[in-house]
């Protein structure tokens, strides 16, 4: 009841100013970050009984026990701060666009003396031109087509500082580079080749088709059928891309259309990209957001999406955004170009955003089952886990640890991380056991967690954020050693263990297991985390074991020192590869001689029948 009184008091004292509000649970974990033109009006809507709320909002409110706010000078500042806080805290009820959502682009610096085309997924605020996003064939195929039709450089040499006897690379000899490095073309001729490539990337594929057709016919006449088939595949890819470029306007314009569709439970944002008057790209983005209305969700989405996909200066939405002017200012600053966000009411632009909306609705309708499954197996499983195990805090970041070794040799451990119920591979870590003798998994687990907890106390960020829950693979024994590590380190983290035989969960304070229902999403999440930790540990152990095995064997052979051991390991990787190699193969390794290769070969096969 005290919290209820505190909430009422805080709601009554909210200011009539723009700012950012932060919803939190009873343990001060951040659940949602939002921005408001008027903090008092917006935040009160969440707690007002008569306000229509979506299922997503109601789910969040069931965990909200407190909130705080930050006043800003303007709504534009509130938008920017909201975006920053979401990226910093990754709240479970906000839109979180991950890095792997970024599409490949072709990048070229036209200000360089000799521009070259490269692939990138990171859009930078520089003077380079970016072509994309590329959704058909991938950027590698595009670069191969460019190299075939427009033979530009791929190297990083400074042509003014090359020696007189410099020889061109292989790309020149196979026709994929025009070799300005040796003066095979002038700077003006090279610039014309680049300009032709830019025309192709801008949508004019006539010249490329003719070049590829000629090369295909020439290769076929020379009976170079594999090469001819490759050119044919390039032509098919270009045709496939051309079919996507449906002419929608009679004028050369660039637009980005966004439409949001929601059924109260799930939400989809469609992005339709128009370049040169043609639809070249369309994508549906499923978003998790506890905004009170679709306008709030779409505004937050656009503030983050411009960091993922390069947008143009004209952005149109299917619904009116109350903060469109402030959003335009934020996007102008982030994209370093004039940006206008507008909701068209009629004409071609209205027709285009309506088309975008129909795509979003269709995707939402057809994908409802898949969307429900995704929620249940990720964030829904996290919520269920907290409830079933009686955890004090929502386990948004779960770390799981596993030990791997064979009879105490090459002991290693793994740490895998799931954030909001999904794998977060960038946070994975691996350990080599340093102090434990023999095959003692209990002591090894304690050592690893002691090292983890010391890093946590130091707050050095090496392991990322602090865990909300740590899972150890095993039963009561592993959990007890994990508890000792926690107490000796003086930290307080929620700890559980998962016993593999019956998938029983053990928690601190009781020797009796918690038996989660076999069909529960919570148990399925724990099993997935444990299996992933096991896989990661086994992979590391095998790599380390193979490396150590080959080096230890080579130490027993006269004439093979440290440099030769390193060279042989880098070349053959494993003992199986080395043992199956011939004397000639071994002799080809850098630093090896024929007599030494013979000696190593005889040693490896001395016990063969």
The 8-class DSSP code of residue 23 comes to E
According to the model, what pLDDT value does residue 547 have? 57
Within this chain, do residues 390 and 313 fall inside the same structural domain, yes or no? Answer: no
- Rounded Cα gap, residues 588 and 484, in angstroms: 53
8 Å CB contact between 132 and 103:
yes
- Rounded Cα gap, residues 580 and 601, in angstroms: 9
Give phi and psi for 268, each to the nearest 5.
-130, 135
- Would 249 be classed as within a structural domain? no
According to the model, what pLDDT value does residue 339 have? 92
Residues with Cβ within 8 Å of residue 36, at least 6 apart in sequence: 18, 19, 20, 21, 42, 43, 78
* The two structure tokens encoding residue 334: 């982030």
Residues across the chain: 609
Give the residue from 372, 405, 428 where a domain finishes.
372
CATH code: domain of residue 576: 1.10.150.20
Q: Is 241 helix (H, G, I), strand (E, B) or coil?
A: helix
Give the end-to-end CA distance of the chain in Å, rounded to a whole number. Answer: 83
8 Å CB contact between 575 and 549:
yes
Residues with Cβ within 8 Å of residue 561, at least 6 apart in sequence: none
- Would 99 be classed as within a structural domain? no
Q: Is 325 helix (H, G, I), strand (E, B) or coil?
A: helix
Within this chain, do residues 404 and 535 fall inside the same structural domain, yes or no? Answer: yes
CATH code: domain of residue 293: 3.30.420.10
The total of structural domains in the chain comes to 5
According to the model, what pLDDT value does residue 271 have? 92
CATH code: domain of residue 492: 3.30.420.340
- Would 549 be classed as within a structural domain? no
Give phi and psi for 256, each to the nearest 5.
-125, 120
- Digit-coded pLDDT (tens) for 134-159: 655 566 777 777 777 778 888 888 88
Give the residue from 326, 342, 372 where a domain finishes.
372
- Would 520 be classed as within a structural domain? yes
Within this chain, do residues 510 and 395 fall inside the same structural domain, yes or no? Answer: yes
* The two structure tokens encoding residue 541: 């152990």
According to the model, what pLDDT value does residue 405 have? 67
The phi-psi region of residue 146 (left if phi > 0; otherwise alpha if psi is between -120 and 50; otherwise beta) is alpha
- Rounded Cα gap, residues 137 and 139, in angstroms: 7
Within this chain, do residues 31 and 67 fall inside the same structural domain, yes or no? Answer: yes
Give the residue from 500, 518, 543 where a domain finishes.
543
Site of tokens 């009781």: 510
Within this chain, do residues 399 and 539 fall inside the same structural domain, yes or no? Answer: yes
- Would 163 be classed as within a structural domain? yes
Q: Is 221 helix (H, G, I), strand (E, B) or coil?
A: helix
According to the model, what pLDDT value does residue 562 have? 77
pLDDT under 70 in the chain at which residues?
A: 1-5, 50-51, 97-103, 123, 125, 132-139, 203, 240-251, 405-410, 460-461, 464, 541, 543-553, 555-556, 607-609
Within this chain, do residues 441 and 327 fall inside the same structural domain, yes or no? Answer: no
Residues with Cβ within 8 Å of residue 361, at least 6 apart in sequence: 261, 268
Within this chain, do residues 389 and 500 fall inside the same structural domain, yes or no? Answer: yes
- Would 420 be classed as within a structural domain? yes
Q: Is 108 helix (H, G, I), strand (E, B) or coil?
A: strand
Within this chain, do residues 138 and 187 fall inside the same structural domain, yes or no? Answer: yes
Within this chain, do residues 511 and 438 fall inside the same structural domain, yes or no? Answer: yes
Within this chain, do residues 19 and 133 fall inside the same structural domain, yes or no? Answer: no
Q: Which of 400, 423, 563, 409 is nearest to 493 (CA)?
A: 400
- Digit-coded pLDDT (tens) for 160-193: 777 878 888 888 887 778 888 888 888 888 888 8
Q: Which domain holds residue 64?
A: 2-94
- Digit-coded pLDDT (tens) for 81-120: 888 888 888 888 887 765 445 567 788 888 888 888 888 8
- CA 472 to chain centroid, in Å, comes to 26
- Would 100 be classed as within a structural domain? no
According to the model, what pLDDT value does residue 269 have? 92
- Would 250 be classed as within a structural domain? no
Within this chain, do residues 227 and 200 fall inside the same structural domain, yes or no? Answer: yes
Give phi and psi for 568, each to the nearest 5.
-65, -40
Output the DSSP codes for 30-74. EEEEEEESSHHHHHHHHH-TTS---HHHHHHHTT--EEEEEE-SS
* The two structure tokens encoding residue 443: 């002591």
CATH code: domain of residue 20: 3.40.1440.10
Within this chain, do residues 419 and 504 fall inside the same structural domain, yes or no? Answer: yes
8 Å CB contact between 393 and 494:
yes
């Amino acid at each position: 009841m005290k919290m209820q009184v505190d909430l009422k008091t805080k709601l009554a004292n909210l200011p009539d100013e723009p700012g950012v509000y932060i919803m939190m649970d009873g343990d001060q974990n951040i659940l949602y970050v939002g921005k408001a033109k008027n903090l008092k009006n917006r935040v009160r809507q969440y707690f007002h009984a008569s306000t229509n709320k979506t299922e997503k909002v109601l789910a969040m409110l069931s965990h909200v026990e407190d909130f705080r706010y930050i006043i800003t000078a303007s709504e534009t500042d509130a938008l920017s701060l909201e975006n920053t806080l979401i990226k910093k805290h990754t709240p479970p009820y906000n839109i979180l666009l991950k890095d792997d959502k970024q599409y490949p682009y072709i990048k070229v610096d036209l200000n360089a003396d000799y521009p070259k085309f490269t692939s990138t997924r990171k859009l930078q605020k520089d003077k380079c031109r970016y072509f994309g996003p590329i959704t058909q064939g991938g950027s590698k195929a595009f670069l191969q087509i460019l190299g075939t039709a427009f033979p530009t450089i791929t190297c990083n040499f400074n042509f003014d500082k090359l020696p007189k006897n410099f020889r061109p690379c292989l790309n020149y000899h196979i026709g994929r580079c025009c070799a300005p490095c040796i003066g095979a073309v002038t700077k003006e001729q090279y610039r014309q080749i680049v300009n032709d490539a830019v025309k192709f990337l801008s949508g004019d594929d006539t010249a490329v088709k003719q070049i590829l057709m000629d090369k295909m016919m020439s290769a076929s006449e020379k009976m170079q059928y594999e090469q001819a088939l490759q050119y044919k595949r390039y032509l098919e890819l270009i045709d496939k891309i051309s079919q996507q470029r449906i002419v929608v306007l009679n004028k050369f314009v660039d637009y980005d259309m966004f439409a949001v569709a929601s059924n109260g439970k799930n939400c989809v944002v469609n992005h339709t990209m128009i370049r040169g008057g043609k639809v070249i790209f369309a994508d549906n983005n499923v978003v998790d957001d506890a905004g009170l209305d679709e306008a709030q969700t779409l505004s937050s989405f656009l503030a983050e999406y411009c960091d993922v996909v390069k947008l143009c200066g004209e952005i149109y939405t299917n619904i009116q955004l109350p903060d469109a002017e402030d959003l335009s200012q934020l996007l102008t600053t982030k994209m370093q170009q004039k940006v206008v966000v507008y909701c068209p009411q009629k004409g071609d632009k209205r027709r285009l955003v309506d088309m975008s909306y129909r795509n979003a609705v269709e995707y939402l309708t057809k994908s409802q089952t898949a969307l429900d499954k995704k929620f249940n197996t990720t964030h829904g499983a996290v919520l269920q886990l907290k409830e079933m195990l009686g955890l004090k805090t929502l386990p948004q970041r779960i770390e799981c640890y596993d030990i791997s070794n064979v009879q105490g040799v090459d002991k290693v451990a793994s740490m895998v991380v799931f954030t909001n119920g999904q794998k977060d591979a960038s946070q994975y870590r691996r350990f080599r056991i340093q102090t434990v003798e023999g095959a003692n998994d209990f002591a090894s687990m304690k050592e690893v967690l002691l090292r983890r907890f010391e890093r946590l106390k130091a707050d050095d960020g090496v392991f990322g954020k602090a865990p909300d829950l740590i899972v150890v693979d095993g039963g009561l024994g592993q959990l007890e050693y994990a508890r000792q590590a926690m107490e000796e380190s003086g930290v307080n983290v929620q700890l559980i263990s998962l016993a593999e035989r019956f998938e029983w969960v053990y928690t601190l304070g009781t020797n009796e297991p918690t038996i989660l229902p076999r069909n529960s999403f919570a148990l399925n999440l724990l099993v997935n985390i444990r299996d992933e930790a096991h896989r990661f540990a086994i992979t590391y152990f095998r790599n380390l074991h193979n490396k150590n095995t080959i080096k230890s064997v080579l130490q027993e052979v006269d004439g093979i020192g440290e440099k030769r051991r390193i060279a042989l390991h880098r070349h053959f990787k494993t003992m199986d590869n080395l043992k199956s190699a011939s004397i000639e193969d071994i002799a080809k390794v850098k630093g090896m001689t024929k007599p030494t290769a013979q000696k190593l070969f005889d040693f490896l096969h001395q016990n063969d029948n």
